[in-house]
Amino acid sequence: MKKIVLLVFLAISSCYLFSQVTLKREGVVINSTETGIWDGDNIPRTQPTILTYRNNSVTSVNTQGYLLQSGDESPLPINNNLDGQVVTGNKFVWNGVNSETVITHGLFVGYNINSTVKYNYIDKAPYAIIFKSGTDDGKNMTFTSGGCAYNICKNGKFAVRLKGINGVKIYNNTFYNADGSGWYFLLITSNSDRPVKAPSTGAKVFNNIFYSTTRFPMIRIESGCFAGFECDYNVYYCTQGEPTFMIDGKSTSWSEWRALGYDTHSVIINPNFNNANDLVPANRLDYGKNLGTEWQAGLSATATWNAGYSPSITNQNGTWQVGARVKPLIHVTTISLTGSGGATSITADNGTLQLNAAVLPANASNHSVTWSIANGTGQAKISTTGLVTAVENGTVTALATANDGSGVFGMLVITISNQVTLPVGVDEHKKKVETHWRIIPGSALIIESDPKFNFGNAVLYTIQGMLVANKIIENDNVDFNISKLPSGIYIVVLSKGVDSNIVKVLLY
């Protein structure tokens, strides 16, 4: 086996009272060229050890074994000697040739409980992170603290495996596969290596990103592992269709999975990562569940991994975000409203004006707004996209309020004119200008009506709503004598049963 080790900081101290040692392994660089079996960075554990494994870099090409071996594969007298270990800020990269038979473990913490696995970047390791326990008579170990959080696991057969271990928390990780190597992201099963196979129960899976470019099960789980299992507030995205799952070897659809009570608050949305290495979402993914102060600090959007240095972290802020990266909440400070083409008025009957909202600063976390209208002397309606529709003459004020909780809003006063006032009893939603009409100057106004109005009523009003004439429609046309009417705008209402039509005409 060939390996290169650079920059090693190793501190061991003994506590004789409890026969316990403290081991800090930090700033280690290992580049292994062993192509067969390699034991990885194998942590001593012959006696109880308080282990901190921090800010190291390990690369390998081995087809079997580990990158970090910080636990055991089977029941042994040295089990639990690394309970409570902290594995944080490390970068593990596997550069071997993948195939069905390759079983290289990336970060392995078997037969120890309460491990905190946090802020690690694991690239291409076939089996990325493994938690494991189980006795021959079917007794599993159970986590009461610690967990797996804010890690980035990229392009492996699976990201996290729970194999005969209970109570593991899987929080705010980013799981990514775009090279076709994925089998599933999470594998939750009993320990099949033991004669009596006890299921992994009580797993908690919250606030993770699952992203794949091939359609494999996002989570594979045995039904016996559903006891105490919780899974929600995650983001899923597969470029080939809806996410799928697997229960006892059977494919399960998104809707079937949710019908079981899982991921009821989760969403399918493209994170739009900046690139395939950093995996920083384009925008904040505010879909998470608040997990408390213990898990509040995540990887910053600018975090990088260099041996001897901790990746930068930042606290969750505002709505809890999903995934390993946490982006700062930048509030809106200004909203400016403008009408299309610079317009601030609506002059056509029932006319519209599209409004636009300019939100500053440009890097505000949430640029979305909620539109509303404050009626003044006039009246109008506004859509969810800022389209104003005139109702009554006068002025109204349009408002766009930021959705980021800042309370910032912008407003624009709009003047409305030339709206038709309908006669009393005519519903606004039935106002139309569809029926054809013609005028014989100084003589008659002829309305060419739809046949459905035959034997209905035709009523002529002034623009102020005063009745001028009322006629029965005896055929497709109805005419009114206008010889004595002054010039101006008039309204004709055609009606029969529940149908009506309104025509606005100008006499001159």
pLDDT digits (tens, 9 = 90+) for 235-293: 999 999 999 999 999 999 999 999 999 999 999 999 999 999 999 999 999 999 999 99
Give phi and psi for 308, each to the nearest 5: 90, -5
Tokens of 473: 């429609």
Question: What is residue 477's predicted lDDT score, i.e. its pLDDT?
Answer: 78
Which residue is it, tokens 């990885």? Answer: 40
The pTM score is 0.72
DSSP 320: P
Question: What is residue 473's predicted lDDT score, i.e. its pLDDT?
Answer: 81
* C-alpha pair distances (Å), 368 with each of 89, 325, 359, 364, 405: 35, 22, 8, 10, 11
Q: Among the listed ranges 85-94, 142-151, 211-220, 430-439, which one has the minimum average pLDDT value?
A: 430-439
| Cβ neighbour number for residue 28 with a 10 Å cutoff | 21
Q: What is the DSSP string of 387-405?
A: EEEEEESEEEEEEEEESSS
pLDDT digits (tens, 9 = 90+) for 393-406: 999 889 898 888 77
For residue 408, is pLDDT > 50? yes
Whole-number percent of the chain with pLDDT over 90: 70
Alpha-carbon distance of 151 to 129, in angstroms, equals 10
Q: Among the listed ranges 194-203, 321-330, 360-369, which one has the minimum average pLDDT value?
A: 360-369
Alpha-carbon distance of 7 to 339, in angstroms, equals 62
Alpha-carbon distance of 224 to 375, in angstroms, equals 60
Closest Cα to residue 279, out of 327, 239, 216? Answer: 327
Q: pLDDT band at 314, cuts 50/70/90? A: very high
Whole-number percent of the chain with pLDDT over 70: 92
Which residue is it, tokens 């998470």? Answer: 288
Q: Among the listed ranges 73-77, 171-175, 319-323, 425-429, which one has the minimum average pLDDT value?
A: 425-429
Over residues 378-404, mean pLDDT? 91
Beta-bridge partners for 93: 59, 123
Mean pLDDT, the chain, integer: 90
Question: What is residue 302's predicted lDDT score, i.e. its pLDDT?
Answer: 96
Question: What is residue 435's predicted lDDT score, i.e. its pLDDT?
Answer: 55
Closest Cα to residue 114, out of 79, 80, 90? Answer: 80
What length does the chain have?
508
59 within 8 A of 123, measured Cβ to Cβ: no
Beta-bridge partners for 503: 492
**Comparing 434 with 160, which gets the higher pLDDT?**
160
